[in-house]
Structure 1
Amino acid sequence: MIEDAPMYLMSIKPKYAYRIFTNIKKFELRKWFGIKPEKGSIIVVYASGSVRAIIGEFKVGRIISGKPSHVWDKLSMIEETGVSEEDYRYIKGSKIAMALEVVDPKLYIKPITLDEIRSIIPGFMPPFSFRKLYVDEPLYELIIRKAREYLYVKTA
């Protein structure tokens, strides 16, 4: 288990989240608002919308950042990004955008619903976009760490 890598909790619309976990979407596009994960960071995915659950995680590979047109141009040179015009429209109006390469996506065995989270952490609100996640905070300690244990079971 990679506990020393920086971690982030990211809200993603369900259709995009499931594209990540079915290995269709290889890059996640984001408007930049002051937080920039580094290569090797772990992104814990909260599927928003009708799902409303933490469903898995992935490691960040390459990071492309700059004006949205620059990010789009760089992505167009990469084969099979899984990113569409619809994704580009999301970042198009921002001053700075970034594309995070999705590496080794892992779907949790059981999604952790917002109701389950709130039963342990009353008043919990998922981030609008994403935020840093600390290993000593209750969300990680009481919920995510347990979900991750199933992913990293060592077999003999």
Structure 2
Amino acid sequence: MGREPAERVALMAIHERYADAIMSGVKRVEFRKRRLADDIETVWVYATAPVSKVIGRFSVDDIVQGSPQDIWDRFGAVGVIERDDYFRYYDGSATAVAIVVGEAERLPDPVGLDELEPRPAVPQSFAYLPVASSPSAMLAPV
């Protein structure tokens, strides 16, 4: 039996340089302090200012949780972040989350949040959106 299609996606705010690295295939993991819900298969990438638009999406291959040191040891080489910056980000955190990037696809024309209905707020980290109100409705699935 096949899996039911996902009913929601994640919209994730990512600094422009890291968002570009994901879209180009160089950055293979996104580090977070909070875990994504297990039903999320697609993450839409909202590149932060100065871009301030959804620039693409990626499929989630895996979500791995552990100590910041364990996650660094396992994924630091593909995270496109300097060691000092990584550990500064996780300072005071007992847990780190690695979202393993699967297939990434850059949109030919970035989408402003004001083009989505209903218009989502800019996520602080990430937000969940129904598939029907995400950029997914404009494109074929990943």
* TM bucket, shorter chain: 0.7 to 0.9
2:64 maps to: 64
Partners of 2:18 and 2:131 in 1: how far apart?
A: 26
- The alignment's TM-score, normalised by the length of structure 2, stands at 0.80
Q: Report the aligned-residue RMSD.
A: 2.6
Deviation at 1:62, TM superposition (A): 2.5
Task: State whether residues 9 and 40 of structure 2, in contact with CA within 8 Å, keep that contact through their aligned partners in structure 1.
Answer: no
Residue 65 to residue 10, structure 1, CA distance change in 2 (3 Å): same
Deviation at 1:115, TM superposition (A): 4.5
Counterpart code for 2:51: V
- Within the candidate set 21, 35, 40, 1:19 is matched to 21
Deviation at 1:40, TM superposition (A): 6.7
Deviation at 1:37, TM superposition (A): 3.5
1:99 maps to: 98
- Within the candidate set 24, 33, 54, 1:31 is matched to 33
Structure 1 residue runs of 4 or more that deviate by more than 6 Å after TM superposition: none
Partners of 2:50 and 2:30 in 1: how far apart?
A: 20
Counterpart code for 1:125: A
Percentage of identical aligned residues: 32
Larger radius of gyration: 1
Aligned length: 137
Q: Which segments of 5 or more consecutive residues in structure 1 lack a partner in the other structure?
A: none
Deviation at 1:74, TM superposition (A): 2.4
Residue 37 to residue 90, structure 1, CA distance change in 2 (3 Å): same
Task: State whether residues 39 and 63 of structure 1, in contact with CA within 8 Å, keep that contact through their aligned partners in structure 2.
Answer: no
Partners of 1:13 and 1:58 in 2: how far apart?
A: 15
Q: Which segments of 5 or more consecutive residues in structure 2 lack a partner in the other structure?
A: none
Residue 69 to residue 92, structure 1, CA distance change in 2 (3 Å): farther
As a proportion of its length, which structure holds more helix? 1
